[in-house]
């Protein structure tokens, strides 16, 4: 009789495979950048991708997941700023102003119902909150689709840290169906498990 892998074994095996794929992809990027004579600062940032940031670093527990009540982009930013302030210990008002200033430069919606509001501040590491707007919010997305999932970030001024955070988010949302799967989750516990690759909703 063949034993089935335990939940923990499956989880860590999947994570090991993902990390190996990312290492290979990062090595390919390095080789391309070297061949093109990339500036040293760019090479330094790429090499630091080896220090993988995981979604657990950004969204460590259910307290970092919000069921948003706002129906407008401005209202949603207020809720996200409050969540980031609680997590990072920063003052809410300056955080909100920075998020607004970033949106004024251009919407952080990237399409398929996802937006990544972000800013930088005097913090030692990246903090994030995941906001779910089940009814959808007009965030001026490039594809015109209402945003239903927003992952807000506040990162240190170090550009490599910010790059690592965005790379982590990109990996976590590589599946085109991730937004719909998050919306289908019954509660924040299921959302957290989905982000960690422990289940599919």
- pLDDT tens, 114-166? 999 999 999 999 999 999 999 999 999 999 999 999 999 999 998 888 888 98
Name the class of domain 53-195: alpha beta
* Percent of the residues in the chain that have a pLDDT greater than 70, as a whole number: 73
Mean pLDDT over the full length of the chain = 82
Query: What's the pLDDT band for 12 if we cut at 50, 70, 90?
Result: very low
Pairing of strands 127-137, 65-67: parallel
Q: Which residues pair with 153 in a beta bridge?
A: 118, 128
Q: Model-level pTM?
A: 0.74
């Amino acid at each position: 009789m063949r034993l089935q892998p335990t939940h923990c074994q499956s989880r860590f095996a999947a994570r090991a495979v993902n990390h190996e794929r990312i290492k290979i992809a990062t090595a390919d990027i390095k080789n391309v950048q070297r061949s093109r004579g990339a500036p040293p600062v760019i090479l330094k940032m790429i090499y630091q991708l080896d220090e993988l940031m995981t979604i657990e670093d950004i969204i460590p527990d259910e307290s970092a997941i919000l069921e948003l009540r706002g129906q407008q982009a401005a209202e949603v930013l207020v809720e996200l700023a409050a969540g980031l302030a609680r997590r990072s210990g920063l003052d809410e008002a300056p955080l909100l102003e920075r998020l607004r200033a970033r949106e004024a430069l251009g919407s952080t919606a990237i399409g398929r119902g996802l937006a990544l509001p972000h800013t930088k501040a005097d913090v030692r590491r990246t903090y994030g909150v995941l906001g779910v707007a089940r009814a959808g919010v007009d965030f001026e997305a490039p594809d015109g689709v209402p945003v239903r999932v927003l992952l807000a970030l506040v990162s240190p001024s170090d550009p490599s840290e910010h790059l690592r955070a965005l790379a982590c988010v990109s990996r976590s949302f590589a599946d085109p169906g991730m937004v719909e799967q998050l919306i289908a989750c019954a509660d924040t516990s299921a959302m957290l498990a989905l982000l960690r690759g422990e289940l599919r909703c």
